Amino acid sequence: DVLVNQIAAGEVVERPASVVKELVENALDAGATRLDIDLEEGGIRLIRIRDDGGGIASGELPLAVSRHATSKIATLDDLEQVATLGFRGEALPSIASVSRFALISRTADAAHGARLEVDGGRVGEVVPHPHPAGTTVEVRDLFYNVPARRRFLRAERTELGHIEEWLRSLALARPSVELRLNHNGRLLRHYRPLREGADPLARVAEALGEDFTRQCLRVDHAAAGLRLHGWVGLPTASRSSADQQYFYVNGRAVRDRVVAHAVKQAYADVLFHGRHPAFVLFLELDPRRVDVNVHPAKHEVRFRDGRLVHDFVFRTLHEALADTRA
């Protein structure tokens, strides 16, 4: 069983950034509004994430680290319209099979918290442990027991860079969640929570810098059950924005060729050729019209009607951009 989990880890856990992604998504699924992320050595030595979400009852801790135990999907109908970020029940057992792992948690109504350690897949005993309401997950020495995987890890700076980039993409999608990132004891990033009614551009400025927000265009258009909203960057002389492309489908960061093509076409048509547009765009549609169950890491989707999505994105951006020239 440890072996099965290690094999699954091959798909889910590529590097420290993939661990951070799975743990942060779990915290968000648990309703967390504040996350503290502590890293050592680019996450290779330590990843510790504390959240203020609903917590896990002490009796359920062993379930949380066992394979295909998810509290999120009960029926096939749920699978058709996944509302949570996680749903496979694979992440924790996979991560715990390739690290020194600890899960510490307390639900709001429990008298005290509890802790469960898993060492390279060997599950320990649940013991009482003080903890505020919410959950902390600790992942130490990633791949310590899988040398072949460990050799593929890059320098501390590179691994940290992947984590920061993923967190940036998340911060854009979840402006009301407070996020702190500490590395080797130093506060690296602090995304402050965006309060109700505040300017949503504030979080974008925190994530992408004012170079982007000074020169961007607000987009918000709905038709045929599709809605596209967010910001597109206008070309500036200085900015190289190849890496500032953020696209979300129902709140999930997604890389999709259909959409990438539509965006590129719209820009090329109206404004300029051969340059990378910068954008933060959110597409919302009925979850039944998109399949998120394509890949374990989940950054790919399949639209039931790719053509319609393509044309909608293209037309919306084309019109918005054309307006700026008129």
54 binds, options Mg ion, ligand ADP, none, Cβ within 5 to 8 A by partner type: ligand ADP
Determine if residue 292 is left, alpha or beta; phi over 0 gives left, psi from -120 to 50 gives alpha, anything else beta: alpha
CB of 200 or CB of 251, closer to ligand ADP? 251
CA distance 38 to 160: 11
CB of 25: closest distance to ligand ADP in angstroms? 7
Stretch 37-96 residues interacting with ligand ADP (CB under 6 A): 51, 53-56, 64, 70-72, 86-92
Using rule CB under 6 A, residue 34 touches ligand ADP: no
Residue 163 one-letter amino acid = I
CB of 21 or CB of 162, closer to ligand ADP? 21
Using rule CB under 5 A, residue 91 touches Mg ion: yes
CB of 136: closest distance to ligand ADP in angstroms? 8
290 binds, options Mg ion, ligand ADP, none, Cβ within 5 to 8 A by partner type: none
Using rule CB under 5 A, residue 6 touches Mg ion: no
Among 42, 43, 55, 86, binds Mg ion (CB under 5 A): 86
Stretch 284-323 residues interacting with ligand ADP (CB under 6 A): none
Using rule CB under 5 A, residue 213 touches Mg ion: no
Query: The tokens of 98 are what?
Result: 């390739």
CB of 47: closest distance to ligand ADP in angstroms? 13
Number of neighbours of residue 198 by Cβ within 10 angstroms: 13
Candidates 30-38, 78-86, 141-149, 223-231 — which segment interacts with Mg ion by CB under 5 A? Answer: 78-86
Stretch 9-28 residues interacting with ligand ADP (CB under 6 A): 22, 26-27
CB of 18: closest distance to Mg ion in angstroms? 12
98 binds, options Mg ion, ligand ADP, none, Cβ within 5 to 8 A by partner type: none
Number of neighbours of residue 109 by Cβ within 10 angstroms: 8
Site residues (vs ligand ADP, CB under 6 A)? 22, 26-27, 30, 51, 53-56, 64, 70-72, 86-92, 135
